[in-house]
Amino acid sequence: MTDIAKKTYFCTPFNYNKINMAQQITDEPIVDVEQAFTKTELYIEQNKKSLMIIAGVIIALVGGYFAYKYWYVAGEETRARSEMFKAEDYFGKDSLDKAMNGDGIALGFIQIVDEFSITPSGNLAQYYLGICYLKKGQYEDAIEHLKEFDGTDQIVGPQATGAIGDANMELGKTDEAITFYLKAAEQNVNNFSTPVFLKKAALANEDKNNYADAVKLYERIKNEFSETTDGKDIEKYISRAKTLGNL
């Protein structure tokens, strides 16, 4: 409806004189209760049993969800965390086989992933398992598990993404490696991981003779992260890339 039409419609006076109010008065008897109900009230009255069943199902589903999340999952997380302790200890000692497969008493990361996948510890075990495979040179397996890791954590998340870059680099997939290095650098910009992954991306670009792109990344480290370990000696990398690329 146009503005003019709306104005005309809403401004037209209602002609009450056309209504014969006497015609509204009848001698009909009072209607019964059912006719006095609104449509909604009538529907509820007629379908009371079905609606109560539906409401009961909804309450049961909601209750079941909270019981699952706060009782079952919480209990599983407690068990998973207990199992993770020994596996993490072996990982820290570089005993990768025991970290992955367990020692006959404590579970390893492989079993923890299988048995406690719904828990936060089960998710973290995916990361550990991916790093174990990376260290063992099983790069495809490393990528598979690192991608399964839900890396919303601002510390471990970038490390997992960067590790996927490392695995791709080892497989000779330099373009994929650069993509993951740059993603890791931006996941949680900080003075610890960001310059590390920017430098890895730059080195990977040098590997492809993309010296101009490498220089841009090195110069970002120089400008934004000069006080970091990687930033303090970045000038030599800039000079080398410019020399090799005749820039």
pLDDT tens for 71-130 read 445 767 888 888 889 999 999 999 999 999 999 999 999 999 999 988 899 999 999 999
pLDDT per residue as tens digits for the range 183-219: 999 999 999 999 999 999 999 999 999 999 999 999 9
DSSP track, 160-174: HHHHHHHHHHHTT-H
Same domain, 143 and 54: yes
Residue 78 maps to which CATH number?
Answer: 1.25.40
pTM: 0.71
Total structural domains within the chain: 2
Residue whose tokens read 């539906």: 54
Cα 102 to Cα 80: distance, rounded to the nearest angstrom: 13
What pLDDT sits at residue 10?
Answer: 38
Same domain, 143 and 181: no
201 burial (CB, 10 Å; 0-12 / 13-18 / 19+) is buried
| DSSP 8-state secondary structure symbol assigned to residue 24 | G
Confidence of residue 131 (pLDDT cuts 50, 70, 90): very high
What pLDDT sits at residue 159?
Answer: 95
**Does residue 22 lie within any of the structural domains?**
no
Same domain, 227 and 146: no
Same domain, 54 and 145: yes
Same domain, 141 and 188: no
Cα 164 to Cα 176: distance, rounded to the nearest angstrom: 9
Long-range interactions of 94-100: CB distance < 8 A, separation 24+: 94/135, 96/132, 96/135, 96/136, 99/128, 99/132, 100/129, 100/132
53 token code pair: 């069943």
Cα 84 to Cα 69: distance, rounded to the nearest angstrom: 20
Same domain, 93 and 137: yes
- Does residue 142 or residue 33 have the better pLDDT? 142
Confidence of residue 40 (pLDDT cuts 50, 70, 90): low
Q: What is the mean pLDDT of the chain?
A: 80
What pLDDT sits at residue 181?
Answer: 97
What pLDDT sits at residue 90?
Answer: 95
**Does residue 166 lie within any of the structural domains?**
no
Mean predicted confidence (pLDDT) in 49-60: 56
**Does residue 21 lie within any of the structural domains?**
no
| Structural domain harbouring 119 | 50-150
What pLDDT sits at residue 82?
Answer: 86
Same domain, 65 and 142: yes
**Does residue 212 lie within any of the structural domains?**
yes
Sign for the CA dihedral angle at 127, 129, 132, 138 comes to negative
**Does residue 133 lie within any of the structural domains?**
yes
